[in-house]
Amino acid sequence: MKKYSGKDKLIFVILLILNSLVGSSSLHSIEFPNDQSFHSEYDLEWVYIVGHYKLKNEQEVGMELSFFRARSTNQKSKTSIEVFPVHFAISDFTNKKHYSSQILGRKIGGLAFYDQNTIRVENFQIKMNQDGSYDISARPKENSSIAVELKVLTHLGNKLIHGDKGISRKSYLDPKFVSNYYSITRIPTLGKITLNGKSFQISENQVSWLDHEWSRAGLSDQDNSWDWVGFSLEDGSDWMAFRFRKDKVSASEVFASKYEYSKIKTFDPTSDIIFQAQTNKTWKSPLTKKVYPMVWNLSSKSENLDLVIEPIFYEQEFDARKSTGLAYWEGGVRVKGMRNGKPVNGKGYLELKGYK
């Protein structure tokens, strides 16, 4: 594991706190393909790709690859500090093992490169092509047992725009927390994944999920916590739901989006959407000692929806304390339940941040 200086980690945390004090009045309605590019005019941005994949050797794996960018500008000197954390994990669903790697890069010394179409931090890169697809690669120097080289054909996926035309509120109680946010679901994906030092092509008809978000507000402020899930059901619908947990009241504010039959429906805290944990199903990390709720319910009477969300295996915590100073749970999940009176199944990813 590459070690980062306390100064680098402190810079990242300070950037998040500083950005939490900045308004977001310049957010805009999302438009494709323009907003698939990266947004240098905003101080916080991240792109997140996950997926469940069957490999040619019949093994089943999950992947998380997240590129972050955080910047703070001194208004007097007009100088900026910008950092680029990357988190990468492979979940071996077949053998129930989790592998991860992380890096925190800065432009100093050429360790990071950023422009409208590319983010590169050492051996981690995401690059947008002219047709709107992305080439992504991750080859950790400190852990050669895992790697990915994928082409995600985002121009062929479902575009799920969240909130009001892409302006996504995280809380009505604290309106400063807002971002531009969209997902692209069921993205045809090609390429290879390396696990335990052996590379395998992924099988045909495999898909990924991409999230892209940017803001001037500190959505990752360490005082805030959240629960997020994104999944696709076998009936053809795609779902995203999240809730901020600054306190017990804000935890009841659930926001969600659905893509189905080429139409988008959004849900806010005034709707009947419910996203909550089963309190008797928890897992305590042997590494960080954090206790995470593992089994979740998502339901809506108006959608005739009642689902249970459960990890494929529990030990999928990402310990990022050596880069961004945080640890969180992020892993592949199975979804099952009832919709419109019929059994339905699906799969996706769950993220839990801020547990103790």
Shortest CA distance to 349 belongs to which of 189, 194, 239?
239
Q: Which two tokens stand for residue 159?
A: 């575009």
Amino acid identity, residue 132? G
Q: Which two tokens stand for residue 153?
A: 């054909």
User: Across residues 133-140, what is the average pLDDT?
Assistant: 97
Q: pTM of the full predicted structure?
A: 0.92
Dump pLDDT digits (tens) for 223-254: 568 999 999 999 999 999 999 887 665 678 99
Q: Which residues, other chains included, contact 95 with Cβ-Cβ below 8 Å and sequence gap of 6+? A: none
Dump pLDDT digits (tens) for 287-302: 999 999 999 999 999 9
The string over 187-200, giving b where at least 16 C-beta atoms fall within 10 Å of a residue's C-beta and e elsewhere, is bbbebebbbeeeeb
Q: Is the pLDDT of residue 218 over 70?
A: no
Dump pLDDT digits (tens) for 266-321: 999 999 999 999 999 999 999 999 999 999 999 999 999 999 999 999 999 999 98
CB atoms within 10 A of CB 179: 23
Spans of all domains in the chain: 6-17+28-353
**How would DSSP label each residue in 206-260?**
-EEEEEEEEESS-TT-TT--EEEEEEEETTS-EEEEEEE-SSTTGGG-EEEEEEE
pLDDT band at 222 (very low <50, low <70, confident <90, very high): very low
Rounded CA gap, 220 and 41, in Å?
Answer: 18
Burial class of residue 270, CB neighbours in 10 A (0-12, 13-18, 19+): exposed
SS3 category, 150: strand
Q: Is the pLDDT of residue 353 over 90?
A: yes
Burial class of residue 113, CB neighbours in 10 A (0-12, 13-18, 19+): middle
- In DSSP terms, which residues pair with 311 in a beta bridge? 333
What class does CATH assign to 6-17+28-353? mainly beta
Amino acid identity, residue 239? W
CA 203 to chain centre: 23
Q: Which two tokens stand for residue 84?
A: 């680029």
Q: What is the DSSP letter of 28?
A: -
Distance between start and end Cα atoms, the chain: 24
